Each structure stands twice: as C-alpha cells, then as structure tokens.
Amino acid sequence: MMHSADALEIIACAVLILVSFVGNMCLFYSTRKCITGRIQTSFLLISSLITVHLIKNLVVNVMKIVYSSGVMLDSAGCKVLHFTAALTTSLAIWFMLHFALFYHWRLYQIVYTLNEAPNLEDKHSLKVVSALWVAGMVVHTPALIYTRKPEYLIAGNGTDPLSTNRIYVDCLIGFGNKQVEFYYGKIFLVLIDILPLAVLVFVCFWMSFLLSERKKLTYGDIWIGEDDSEIEILRGAKFSILLMLLITPLWVSHFILVCFLKDLAAYVFIPAVLTALSSGFSAVSPLLLMLVNYKIKLVSFCGAKEEKPTPQPVNVILSPYA
C-alpha cells in the first residue's frame, strides 16, 4: 500500500508539473514575437529560465513521481536526479542575477541620465547565457561522474525509520572521499548558489532605491512621462525585485529543511514540502511575470517597439517651437 507521504509527494509533483508547464508555455507564447528580428537580452534570459523550469519539472519531478509510485532508482537514476535538480537550481539563480543586473544598469542610466553608450548588451548576451549553461554543466559534472550510491543503501531492505523520506535518503550520493565530499559537496556547491543569491538581494535592494529616486525625477521642475522603453525597464526592475523575494526564501527554506532532514523524518508532509520549495519558483515565476507585464501596450520584456517617424510635408515650414 502506498504510504501517505508518497501520495502527498505525488500530488505535489503533479500539481507543480501542470502549473509550471502551462505557465511557462503561456509565457513563451506571449513573448514569441521576440523571435523575429534582433533577439533581445531580456527575451533570451526569459527563454533560458523557461527551459530550466521545464527541465526541472519534466525530469526531476517526474522521477520523483516514478520513485514514489514504488519503482526503485538505481545509482545511475539517483545521479541523474541529483545532477538535474542541482543544475537547474543553480542556473535559475544565475539567470535571475543576470536578469536583475541587466535591468539595474538600464535603470541606473535613466535615474542618473547617463549618456547612452552603443547598445552592446544584446550582442554579448548570447555569449554570456551560453557561458552560464557551460559553467553549470562543468560545475555539476563531478557530482554526475564521480559519485555513487552507497553500498549499504543499495543492499538495504527498506525498513529504515526514515522511509517517509525515502527518495531523500535512499538517493544519498557518496563521493568515496570525505574531503572531496566536504569541500565540494557541502561547501563549493552551496557557495555557487548562496553567493549569487546574496548579490541578487543586494542588486534588488539597490534597484528599489533607484525606483524611489525615479519617482522624484524631474527635468527643470517638469515631470516628463515615461516612454515605451522606460516602461519596459521599470517593469523589468520591479519584476526582478518580486522574483528575488520569491526565490531567496524558497532556496533558504529548502536548504534548512535538508540540513535537518533526519530530525524531521517523522512528518509525512516533509517530502511534499521539500518538493514545493525546490520547484515552487519554476511554477510560480512565469505567472508572476505575466501578471507584472499585464496591460502593457506595445511593450513586453522582449523590448520596446520602435515607431517609425511620421513624414513631414515638404512645403510646410516648421515653427522653431514645434
């Protein structure tokens, strides 16, 4: 008979998969017009986040459903589960930091009216995003290659008192070397997530200050309305702050629960809670993006729509005050 903890985890995974798939597909559909013409940095980052979210849900959560249904995962299955979960989590944080830095710089230019330099960020954005994908694969590859499932778990009979959290206990991966496990598994892999998160929090608080300064901004005691490009920047900044407030508590809460997992083994809802914390960002963030971007005219996060200048009649003399 299926354990109640397994049933709760299956329900949580199924709901997250459905919400994430629908939300990310709708988000991609709503920004599909960016594919034509010059690809904007913001759209490239959003499409990367969509890919990461779908991989997390369609690989990690599906494997959790299979495992909770009674199908045991071998050492290779556990490696794929841990590798994919860690890789998608790190990439989501890195892409969010890149997204926040992109809009922070553009907002900074507006507030302090800097002379705009040639728009080079779009030319280099593909290289940066590709570098982040490669870096994520390189950083997490040792966990995929050089780790193995401990022998005592392979030979176990499933009677462990922590069986309510089987997938988090049975799929423990051992490095075979205590020093490597400590420095790489417990320090390095944590730092590559927590340091970008700390920078993300700092950048978003700085953007909050810039947004408050933007409200006071006037030109000769005259407030000038926002054009389409500024609306995009302001919404991108607000969205970055909103997502920082979502991803940071989710990551910290998940990390704390995993650290105290043995003490929480008696609670049947822990597996479902861990799943919700690890995949909640991939399910909720697309919906928040569409909510923040709702009702915006002529603008989406793929960039402002350029308007062609209206041709002037040849025989009309323009006033110098026109």
Question: Which residues neighbour 164 within 8 Å (Cβ) at sequence distance 6 or greater?
Answer: 3, 5, 265, 266, 267, 268, 270, 271
Helices vs strands, H then E, count in the chain:
11, 2
- The DSSP-derived string for 223-238 is -----HHHHHHHHHHH
Question: Do 207 and 245 meet the contact criterion of CB atoms below 8 Å apart?
Answer: no
C-alpha 21, offset from chain centre? 14
Question: Do 230 and 204 meet the contact criterion of CB atoms below 8 Å apart?
Answer: no
Question: Mean pLDDT of successive 10-residue segments in the chain (322 residues)?
Answer: 74 93 87 60 84 93 87 82 92 94 89 59 76 94 78 51 56 76 88 96 94 71 56 84 94 90 77 91 87 50 48 44 32
b/e burial code for range 73-85 (CB count within 10 A of at least 16 → b): bebebbbebbbbb
Q: E strands, the chain, where? A: 299-300, 303-304
Tokens of 90: 């790190």
Tokens 């330099």 label which residue? 117
Structure confidence at residue 294 (pLDDT): 54
| Residues 98, 287: Cα–Cα separation, whole Å | 20
Question: pTM, whole model, 2 decimals?
Answer: 0.83
Residue 235: which of 259, 207, 270, 261 has the closest Cα? Answer: 207
User: In whole angstroms, how large is the CA radius of gyration of the chain?
Assistant: 24
User: Coil, helix or strand for 176?
Assistant: coil
Distances (CA, A) of 167 to 158, 161, 252, 260, 265: 11, 13, 20, 15, 12
Structure confidence at residue 123 (pLDDT): 62
Structure confidence at residue 7 (pLDDT): 85
Sign of the alpha-carbon torsion through 304, 26, 251, 174: negative
- The DSSP-derived string for 300-320 is ETTEEPPPPPPPPPTTPPPPT
Please return the burial class of 219, using the count of CB atoms within 10 Å of its CB with bins 0-12, 13-18 and 19+. Answer: exposed
243 φ/ψ angles, rounded to the nearest 5 degrees: -70, -30
C-alpha 112, offset from chain centre? 29
Class of domain 4-31+41-294: mainly alpha
